[in-house]
Every structure is written in C-alpha cells, then in structure tokens.
C-alpha cells in the first residue's frame, strides 16, 4: 500500500475503535433542492465561479462539481450568513 493511503487505514481503524462513542442517528437528512440552495446564493450572476448563472452554479454544487469556495462573493463578510446557511444546508451532500 502506498504511504499516501495509510491515512485512510488509520481513519477506518480509529472509527472502529470509537464506534461505541459515535451517536447513532435514525433520521435521514433530506438532500436540499436546487431552489433551497439558490435562495441563499448572492444571486449576482457575476460568473466568478465559472458558471453563467447562479442557478447553473447551484446545479454544479448539487452534483459535486463545484464547492461553496468556488463562489467568491460568498467569501465576503457581507455574505457570511448566506455562507453559513449554505454549509448547514449542504452538510455532507
């Protein structure tokens, strides 16, 4: 196994050792819709993310092709509430 793969082995082993401490969640987290995400974006269609519109960026967020970090306006202090809300919405999606 290449040295770069040991972190995964260590993560798996650590998780197994701590399995009794990990809370079991019985509720399923619903995946957010494109409209729910779009409502929290700045809506400027500035194209700084590489997409033509914020709606196109939303679709790529949901597919995993883009991340919140790809939207420069979200990094601005004025949009910190939007960024935090989107992080909560997206979670592990």
- Rounded-to-integer distance, Cα 1 and Cα 9, Å: 10
- 43 neighbors 20 (Cβ within 8 angstroms): no
pLDDT tens, residue by residue, 74-86: 999 999 999 999 9
From the list 58, 56, 51, the residue with the least C-alpha distance to 82 is 58
Structural domains in the chain plus CATH codes: 32-93 (1.10.15.40)
Q: Which residues contact 59 (CB under 8 A, 6 or more apart)?
A: 34
pTM of the complete model beyond 0.75 = no
Mean pLDDT confidence for 6-21: 90
- Rounded-to-integer distance, Cα 45 and Cα 68, Å: 15
Q: What are 10's two structure tokens? A: 């260590």
Alpha helix (H) residue ranges in 1-93: 6-17, 34-40, 54-63, 80-90
């Amino acid at each position: 196994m290449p040295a770069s793969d040991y972190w995964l082995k260590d993560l798996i082993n650590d998780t197994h050792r701590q399995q009794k401490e990990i809370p079991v969640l019985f509720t399923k987290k619903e995946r957010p819709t494109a409209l729910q995400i779009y409502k929290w974006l700045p809506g400027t269609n500035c194209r700084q993310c590489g997409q033509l519109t914020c709606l196109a960026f939303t679709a790529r967020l949901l597919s995993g092709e883009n991340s919140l970090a790809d939207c420069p306006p979200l990094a601005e202090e004025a949009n910190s509430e939007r960024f935090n809300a989107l992080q909560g919405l997206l979670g592990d999606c």
